[in-house]
A and B are shown apart, each in its own frame.
Chain A
């Protein structure tokens, strides 16, 4: 018992989750038991998973073989640094989300609580298995389990038609992606018939086949991650799902796609071609820009966050593209820097996005509104949620000294370090990408100010909002846990960079940690202190001292008091909550500037309308350019094939007869 390997303990974690799920089924409708007992236990199991992953980081890889599955084809599992890092995220985020979920799920919403509990824990377990899998078979089984369990979670509220539609769209894209991943593994095993990752690692493919495998992986994992143009399911599925599920999907499940792409392009493939990086960089930037522009014009709070996830995935892909370029040109130190930025952002996005999604969950519960146009002023009624979400908003806008800024800073630094690439064309383009990333980050700030300002600030736009109540104790604990990490990762970057170090060493052969800490634990230094440095703690201290200075000055100088009065508003005599900017209004400049990005339909009233209606709908070009044509073609083909179906037995016998004749003809030849 005592000489168990870490991987065995992690398998025990999975077993405990499954047991919790089974307990949920047994207590199918005993709501209090499921919510207050099972979910918190699941949360503590998550914590222990994070602890185990922490222990495994930096150790030699451990393997295990599970004798389940087909004969001759057991599950191979392997715990190395890359998987340990992602397990850390699953555990860390999962703990917060599970604790929140303990207070979140309510009676009588579609799926019974016990079943939800089962699906939720299977979802967690399958993500852990995806990260641990060491052969294509185990990987695909885990991957599909993850897709299916999350599908059932998304459609928890399955009586609503939109939820059904969103769920099916999600399932469809997930499966198209899965096919590509399967094909990718087929290419990677290079005709040996051995589908273990060990074998794939040993193979060296020709550049053509390596590129094919990479492109298939990009397509397959891109579909899961929400890469353009496969992002279409994200803004539908996230609003449909219950908030803890959205949080897990956005924070962790999208990251398993990042994991898969990292695993294949840095671990399983040995041939590296620089244009892979270029392609990934371009696609990533496009995805990020598209996502953030759409986020800024949304009017549904969860859709806004979904588009913001697309943006962040875009940034991650762009960073990964840069890493691939450095890696292809054999510049390990720079590759380590940009890979560190990618992994750092993976972690920071996981924490802040789950926090934000949970925040929308609390708002949804308190107000049963998702539409930004009917919210407002919640700061006064739900201060806990508001302040915690504000932390997430700062992290997500990339403001120092919160976690989002550190990853943005590292990413920008790695783009500025490019001079020195052998290709002068790339050399020239890449710093310009840095300028683009700056633009995207600034736009993210715009979207986030809109998100927070419209929901929590100002006056309530509806009367019923005044009855909104703050989150319960479980919800608060979950959110505080996540918010604390948003702050900690912002203030102590060297802690996480130290953990990431072993991952980058094993993937690209160099690490950043030693360099980063060369000037003391306070300073984050990517190459030398003369070149660039950032000390978040000192930074915060500086602002705090400035505030203190102001406060002290005021104590010395001011003699006036403080009085509460009605807002002045330029002397406007009366004002209503309707006079505030709506979400549409706040997004209007972006809509006007980026009009070519979106498909706008506007209905503007004329002066003679008795009941004037102003309506704007914003749709995605990709629906009309890509998906609807494909759907039409498939429908047409299906219709043609449908002619075969006549419903008369004589005709079917004729088909059999013709087929038989044809076969005989073939055999004779």
Chain B
């Protein structure tokens, strides 16, 4: 492990930890503006985390150790996810530990833990949330894999850094299969991050909530960890999208100097992405829960069609 590799790895993790709540704040701000509401400050998520960290945690009497373990595991999974996704640089010593398939597995670990924790208390909402989360998960997970397969068929690799290096290096060419994958990815990331057409992060209306039902029993520092993990997940998904479809500006192993430009590039791309996310959320209405499988099945099929297109065109 070279020193520069270690540093860029550390930088990637720190940037993710710091920028993730900021991205959340940015999206929330735009959402409020687009919906003609007074926006909370950009730093609101940090204040929220700080407040929650100082509060007392209340744990249900019926909770088992899984309930208390889950926030740490989920947070750990998301930190690892941010460590292996090439956000600033492809010179990541952690990256060979997990490729695209293992990344999806990582998200699955987090999902299973949070669902088990939700079932742990034994309330009606908890198990409802767990069921819905797993429903979304079992469709979103293969869809995400199929999207990543699209990229790996083009670059002949499932290692995330190799994919990004390949896609950033090629002379400018449009891959029709990536276009399908891009649409599918947008749909999946809305579902996976509990965003509007699928779930509403701002709701506590019993019958519609999915993600909020899962974490209903959490409070204090546990809730803070989960909220941070949620922000990290949004950040990770955004970075996967940027890395696959807009990989320009990410520094490579041979040219660590570009790292200086990589951070502003990333912030710029995330700012645009966050605005678009808020825009789509504002323009769409929430679906009924049983429309969600159709929505995600569409995403899955689009990604599969992308693979077919790749072979048909021989690209």
Interface string of B125-146 (1 = CB under 8 A from A): 1111011101101110110011
Q: Is the CB of B123 within 8 A of A580?
A: yes
Q: Is the CB of A431 within 8 A of B75?
A: no
Residue from the set B54, B79, B138, B159 with the largest chain A CB neighbour count within 10 Å: B138
- Give the CA-CA distance A431 to B139 in the complex, in Å: 18
Which of A27-35, A91-99, A271-279, A392-400 faces chain B?
A: A392-400
Give the chain B neighbours of A543 by CB distance below 8 A: 73, 76-77, 80, 106, 109
- Give the CA-CA distance A550 to B221 in the complex, in Å: 10
Q: Is the CB of B64 within 8 A of A380?
A: yes
Q: Is the CB of A458 within 8 A of B127?
A: yes
Residue from the set B50, B137, B158, B307 with the largest chain A CB neighbour count within 10 Å: B158
Q: Is the CB of A542 within 8 A of B112?
A: no
Interface size on B, residues (CB 8 A): 85
Contact (A542, B94) CB under 8 Å given A531-B159, A560-B55, A589-B293 = yes
Q: Is the CB of A580 within 8 A of B153?
A: no
Interface string of A529-545 (1 = CB under 8 A from B): 11111110011001111
Which of B96-104, B233-241, B268-276 faces chain A?
A: B96-104
- Give the CA-CA distance A412 to B153 in the complex, in Å: 13
Q: Is the CB of B122 within 8 A of A530?
A: no
Q: Is the CB of B131 within 8 A of A585?
A: yes
Give the chain A neighbours of B119 by CB distance below 8 A: 449, 453-454, 457-458, 580-581
Q: Is B312 an interface residue (CB 8 A)?
A: yes
Contact (A399, B122) CB under 8 Å given A445-B137, A449-B134 = no
Chain A residues touching B, majority SS:
helix
Q: Is the CB of A449 within 8 A of B158?
A: no
Chain B, 190-238, CB within 8 A of any chain A CB: 204, 206, 216-217, 220-221, 225
Interface string of A447-466 (1 = CB under 8 A from B): 00110111001110000000
Contact (A400, B145) CB under 8 Å given A458-B119, A558-B221 = no
Q: How far is the CB of B305 from chain A (nearest CB, A)?
A: 10
Q: Is the CB of B108 within 8 A of A399?
A: yes
Q: Is the CB of A562 within 8 A of B57?
A: yes
Q: Is the CB of A449 within 8 A of B142?
A: no
Q: Is B308 an interface residue (CB 8 A)?
A: yes
Q: Is B83 an interface residue (CB 8 A)?
A: yes
Give the chain A neighbours of B225 by CB distance below 8 A: 550, 554
Residue from the set A445, A452, A551, A592 with the largest chain B CB neighbour count within 10 Å: A445
Q: Is the CB of A567 within 8 A of B62?
A: yes
Q: Is B280 an interface residue (CB 8 A)?
A: no
Q: How far is the CB of A91 from chain B (nearest CB, A)?
A: 30
Q: Is A442 an interface residue (CB 8 A)?
A: yes
Give the chain A neighbours of B96 by CB distance below 8 A: 519, 523, 529, 533, 535, 538
Which of A261-269, A432-440, A648-656 faces chain B?
A: A432-440
Contact (A442, B102) CB under 8 Å given A432-B307, A453-B130, A546-B76 = no
3 closest A-B pairs by CB: A546-B76, A458-B122, A546-B79
Residues of B within 8 A of A (CB): 50, 53-62, 64, 66, 71-73, 75-80, 83-84, 94, 96-99, 101-102, 104-106, 108-109, 112, 115-116, 119-128, 130-132, 134-135, 137-139, 141-142, 145-146, 149, 152-153, 156-159, 162, 204, 206, 216-217, 220-221, 225, 290, 293, 300, 303-304, 307-308, 311-312
